[in-house]
Amino acid sequence: MIIGFDGKRAVQNNTGLGNYSRLVVDSLSRYYPANSYRLYAPVRRANPRLTPVLANHNVELLTPATAFGRFARHVWRSYGMTSQARADGCEIFHGLSGELPFNIRSGGMASVVTIHDLIFRRYPEYYKAIDCRIYDYKFRRACADATRVIAISECTKRDIMEYYGTPAEKIDVIYQGCHEQFGAAIPPEKLKHVYRQYQLPERYIVTVGTVESRKNQLLAVKALALLPSDVVLYIVGGATPYADEIARYADAHGLSARVRRLEGIPFDHLPALYEMAAVSSYTSRFEGFGLPVIESINSGTPVIACTGSVLEEAGGPGAVYIDPDDVDGFAEAAMNIMENPSLRAETVRLGQEYTARFSHRAMADSIMDTYRRALDGQQ
């Protein structure tokens, strides 16, 4: 089987959608090596996180084959990518980030689209109005045009059905696999290196993700005032207006020395940051899935997460769940975990039993099942 992918995010994004795109292609390549996998991207760009995927013998990165496609890359991605993939012999085309070429239905291939979330529909206040309209048009059309739709959680499936009227039988829920480095044994010298590089204290809370109001990192900052003065919060994420808001709050409340933001850290440092943390925090108001919850649990650290979306689906018994505005609840949960080693160990044990379902192999097998259904249902 020859499978084509919209590879833009795999090439250009280093976080969420990029990680998912690379993980899907790499997992399929490893567990179904007889197939050929072709990533189509507007540009070829050096990306250390993509390099190991492209090293697989059955994975290839392709860019526009014509001068016009190279000149008008947006047009190529919306239209020209289809004809190029078909000319290359692709039998299935998979849009990995909620989009498909606009002419995919006439492209002579079965098609699959992955929808990660519809947060822009449920909480439009977190987005620019023009972005909401663009996302809505692309995602609605992709769900209508695709032979099959993959939702990354039951929560996302419900939203697709509610907002776009997509039939339940057209949607397959396939959980994203967690990278295997989370949960793998970390050499003591690596732990020491990370500990020293980031000057980690004895007890700290870590939160990983884009620093934005929807992610609600300010909740953990506010809770610091109720926790012992030796507890420090590490926010792993880039500079944003919301990060500035957090810094202003911390400064105004005498917490600046206890709130530290880490930007641009290597991906292979994350497991150590999770493992050495007293507790991790992922208090987002709404998510399509919540991979950092699973990363933390697999690394042996319990999570404080929020109710109201998919995080309970992601973390199961490996997290403590609170209301997204409950500062007292956050502080109480953190203290319970830090002061009760047996509770901490039991939470991790139960959580890791639960998150075992989020494996690369399970994801790859389920995606291949979806591809087979798509080929069977192609009109």
- Count Cβ atoms below 10 Å from residue 148 Cβ, excluding itself: 24
Contact residues for 349 (Cβ-Cβ < 8 A; gap 6+): none
d(CA 122, CA 263): 29
Give residue 180's pLDDT. Answer: 86
Architecture of the domain whose range is 188-355: 3-Layer(aba) Sandwich (3.40)
d(CA 189, CA 272): 11
Give the position of tokens 């020859």: 2
> How high does pLDDT run on average in the chain?
95
Cα dist from 84 to 97, 102, 186, whole Å: 19, 14, 43
- Count Cβ atoms below 10 Å from residue 260 Cβ, excluding itself: 17
Give the residue-averaged pLDDT of 165-177: 95
> What superfamily would CATH give domain 2-177+359-377?
Glycogen Phosphorylase B; (3.40.50.2000)
d(CA 299, CA 183): 5
284 pLDDT tier (thresholds 50, 70, 90) = very high
**Which residues in the chain belong to E strands, given as ranges?**
2-6, 36-40, 59-62, 92-95, 110-115, 148-151, 171-173, 204-208, 232-236, 259-262, 279-282, 303-306, 319-322
Give the residue-averaged pLDDT of 16-35: 94
Contact residues for 338 (Cβ-Cβ < 8 A; gap 6+): 203, 231, 278, 279, 344
d(CA 254, CA 85): 57
Q: What is the pLDDT of residues 191-217, one digit of tens each?
A: 999 999 999 999 999 999 999 999 999
Pull the structure tokens for residue 273.
């940051």
Domain boundaries, the chain: 2-177+359-377, 188-355
Give the position of tokens 């970390």: 186
In this predicted structure, the answer to whether residue 379 has a pLDDT above a threshold of 50 is no
Give residue 23's pLDDT. Answer: 94
Instruction: Give, to the nearest 10 degrees, the angle between helix 341-355 and helix 291-298.
Output: 120
Give residue 378's pLDDT. Answer: 58
Give the position of tokens 């295997």: 180
Give residue 87's pLDDT. Answer: 96
Q: What is the pTM of this model?
A: 0.87
Contact residues for 233 (Cβ-Cβ < 8 A; gap 6+): 204, 205, 206, 207, 220, 221, 224, 258, 259, 260, 281
Instruction: Give, to the nearest 10 degrees, the angle between helix 16-31 and helix 360-377.
Output: 80
Pull the structure tokens for residue 252.
């105004």
Give the residue-averaged pLDDT of 138-162: 96
d(CA 342, CA 181): 25
Distance of CA 80 to the CA centre of its chain: 28
In this predicted structure, the answer to whether residue 15 has a pLDDT above a threshold of 80 is no
Domains 2-177+359-377 and 188-355 share a fold: yes
Q: Which long-range contacts (CB under 8 A, 24 or more apart) does 74-78 make?
A: 74/42, 76/42, 77/6, 77/8, 77/42, 77/101, 78/102, 78/103
Give residue 69's pLDDT. Answer: 86
d(CA 174, CA 162): 19
Cα dist from 204 to 168, 170, 201, 243, 295, whole Å: 43, 44, 6, 19, 17
Q: What is the pLDDT of residues 271-280, one digit of tens each?
A: 999 999 999 9
Give the position of tokens 């440092």: 269
Give residue 264's pLDDT. Answer: 87
Burial of 117 (0-12, 13-18, 19+ CB in 10 A): buried
In this predicted structure, the answer to whether residue 372 has a pLDDT above a threshold of 60 is yes
> HSE-up of 182 (CA within 13 Å, CB side)?
24
